Structure 1
Amino acid sequence: MSKKIFRRAGFLAATLAAGIFATSVQASDPIKIGSFLSATGPASFLGDPELKTLEMYVEKINADGGVLGRQLQLIHYDDAGDASQARNFASRLVRNDRVDIIIGGSTTGTTMSAAPLIEQARTPFISLAGAIVITEPVKPWVFKTPQSDRMAAERVLGDMQSRGITKVGLISDTGGFGSSGRTQTLEVAANYGIEILADETYGPSDTDMTAQLTRIRNAGVEAVFNFGFGQGPALVTRNYAQLGIDLPFYQSHGVASDRFLELAGTAAEGLRLPASPLLVPDSLDDADPQKAVVQNYKAEYEARWNTQVSTFGAYAYDGLMLAVMAIEQAGSTDREAVRSALENIQGYVGVTGIYNLSPEDHMGLTADSFRILEVKDGQWNLID
């Protein structure tokens, strides 16, 4: 063999060895799960259980061997509910941390602030916020786990229709979630033979809504629907009781947690809302495919954190499980392959609902995934 051929053979052997070494290193690198959540601040009732859920199940998955033989690494930033902070953290996740997928966005505002940047970076993103604008129109790289505000409005209006209610008063907060929910309610009310006779709003920092509720009561309505999240809906509920309004009262899924019952107290008695079955797991029929999933999540979360489970934490659970399923189906962390796998997941039974995603639907839930609950004796009860 000539020296030239020998040198070429040595070069090829070294290149092959380097390639094998690089592949081995890559295979042993962690899969990076990025997250920005409102773990503190006014939306911490959303972000705190979401973060606890991600931490808990990343640890659990890693203890079971990880994904594709690799460990998961959770890289999290607390945006405290601030949209500009969320955008900055999203930039850090995609540009500095170079994460493989992002699960986060506790609120519509933080999600929509970060989404364009994440889209530009072509990184799969699973939001935990509710507004319909997150996934409609479809954005190639953006998905979400909660039902949309339109679906919540449809379930509430459908329940009103079944009770013969045709004249409704609407009150909503002016934040992103409440504003979007108001718009969706106004758009679909006529489909249920319902007329919105009063349309009032309140600011996120308002502490007394009796003036708005008085105007609603005087409009001749048969029921009242509040669309919002945080402490505002609890204040509305207490003001409602203080005014002695004796009409059916509905809240949105934005307050579907035991924390809301604590804030609203006895004033919440009799109100109804759409929610995931997590608040009433033992009331589900044994044949319901979600029952075991819901019960297991509730038991594991409460045992680990010694606190009551939250439907908002369940959004993070479903987001993480969808991400893991997509990575496994893709057989790698290639972003386009993971994105494609995500939008083709069918029949995933989650805590929130049964997901059937598609290129045209990046949420994959139907309105029936909401259950109608009513507060009786200070507890959630399954109505439908």
Structure 2
Amino acid sequence: MTSRQKGLKKSLVALGMVAGALAVSASNAEAADPIKIGTFLSVTGPASFLGDPELKTLELYIEELNKGGGVLGRQLELVQYDVGVDSKKAITAVKRLVSQDEVDVIIGGSTSGATMAVVPIVEKAEVPFISLAGAVAIVEPVKKWVFKTPHTDKMACGKIFEDLQSRGLTTIALISGTGGFGKSMQGQCTKLAPAYKINIAASESYGPKDTDMTAQLTKIKGVDGIQAVVNTGFGQGPAIVTKNYRQLGMTAPLYQSHGVASKKFIELAGDAAEGVRLPAAALLVADMLPDSDPQKPVVQGYSAAYSDAYGGSVSTFGGHAYDGLQIAVAAMVRAGSTDKEAVRNEIEKTSGYIGTGGVVNMSEKDHLGLDLSAFKMLEIKNGDWSIVK
């Protein structure tokens, strides 16, 4: 058995979802109409660090499930569209998924902007939709047909503020991307700050095409009393902020969001990333978890399978796709069909699911099912992740 097969088996077994147990038989699966899993992702463009591992993960595990006989005696078929970071392309893709491709469920939406753009479409079409994007607005307020797997920007603010409190830091500055995620997290941090007795003394922003944030950081540096800086954003922007931050000789602690939770950020920021803290899923530190942690076999299994199949390190973004697929498949199995209403109802009943993002307990009032305990606070040391104790 190869390391990839061991990793796949380990992660599936950890979920109690060995492929063979989900299928009636391989021959029946081949004869029946396939279950269509629709997805629209940022596979290319500036958010490809999100969409690329998400697509690879869906392909990897759908292939494995099909080899084991499929689900409900049927094979799975992935119908995917690359939308970059273009919300209009996302709208076109999702309209096609629901009307022409007639998918049974949608797992996708790499960015918050693309996800929010298509919410009205999936709600009207009444198709279960599990988003892979971060903004809390995706699930708050609750929308009947919309769920998500990543931790929210609101949760990221809370985790960062907890860490600031533990360090006795109360006065901060925000620097935020102007995209959907960056704006949303900036707003959430601003709203949440008083509850943690955090004073936001300065707030600056940068555009998605900006290549130098020195001017904004210089303004922040000039404000007296700043004890830490929090960057709400994802993509290349945070790496540029981090480099400029060090170039200006700024020494206050720098925090990033979970939107940069991949080795790509460390590679882009280089030595400037040293000491940066951010909240992230346990997946990034799988081998550092204690054996008693119920997530350990899941995240180790996924990490081994993904790395063996594609090489390189894993990111939390691929993990979000893994969780979305497993939650959707488990809902179909419990429903005993792909009836959209029945599957939606079972997704909403997800309870005790141990995934790469944490332990998920959804309800009619919570279409995410994670709390702050699902986050680890990480610090970059010597070019790698470490867990803040």
1:144 is aligned to 148
- 1:11-61 alpha-carbon deviations (Å, 9 max, x no partner): xxxxxxxxxxxxx99981110000110101111010000000000000001
- 1:323 is aligned to 328
1:227-266 to structure 2, matched below 5 A, reads 227-266=232-271
User: Which amino acid in the other structure matches residue 242 of structure 2?
Assistant: T
Correspondent of 1:289 among 287, 294, 301 = 294
Residues 1-384 of structure 1 correspond to what in structure 2 (within 5 A)?
Answer: 28-220=32-224, 221-384=226-389
Change beyond 3 A, Cα 1:28–1:298: same
Structure 1 letter corresponding to 2:287: D
TM-score, length basis structure 1:
0.93
Matched residues in 1 for 2:107 and 2:355: separation? Answer: 16
Q: Secondary structure at the match of 1:324?
A: helix
Paired residue type of 1:157: F
Q: Which amino acid aligns with 2:365?
A: E
3-state secondary structure, aligned to 1:196: strand
How far apart, in 1, do the equivalents of 2:111 and 2:213 lie?
A: 23
For the Cα contact (< 8 Å) 2:29–2:74, is it kept in 1? no
Q: Is the Cα–Cα contact under 8 Å of residues 139 and 146 in structure 2 kept in the other structure?
A: yes
Indicate conservation of the 8 Å contact 2:109/2:132, yes or no.
yes
Residue by residue, what CA displacement relative to the aligned partner does 1:285-318 show, whole Å, maximum 9, x if unpaired?
1100001100010000000011221110000000
TM-score (norm 2): 0.91
Amino acid at match of 2:377: I
Q: Deviations over 1:63-113 (max 9, x none)?
A: 111111111000001111110000000000000000000000000011111
Please identify, of 337-346 and 277-286, the stretch whose mean Cα deviation from structure 2 is larger.
Answer: 277-286
**Distance (Å, rounded) in 1 between the aligned partners of 2:358 and 2:69:** 27
Unaligned runs of 5+ in 1: 1-23
Aligned residue pair count: 361
What does the per-residue CA deviation read over 1:95-138, in whole Å, with 9 as the maximum and x for residues that have no partner?
A: 00000000000000111111111110000000000000000000
Over aligned residue pairs, what C-alpha RMSD do you find?
1.2
Bigger relative CO (Cα 8 Å, ≥ 6 apart) = 2
Mapped partners of 1:245, 1:381: distance in 2: 22
Separation in 2, partners of 1:350, 1:337: 22
Work out which of the two has the higher radius of gyration on C-alpha atoms and give 1 or 2: 1
Q: How high is the sequence identity, in percent, across the aligned residues?
A: 58
Asked if the contact 2:41/2:55 (under 8 Å) is kept, the reply is yes
Instruction: Tell me the distance in 1 between the aligned counterparts of 2:217 and 2:115.
Output: 31
Whole-angstrom distance in 2 between the partners of 1:254 and 1:58: 26
Q: Give, as a single letter, the amino acid of the residue that structure 1 aligns with 2:350.
A: I
Corresponding residue SS for 1:280: helix
Q: Distance in 2 between matches of 1:26 and 1:49?
A: 28
Question: For residue 281 of structure 1, what is the amino acid of its counterpart?
Answer: A
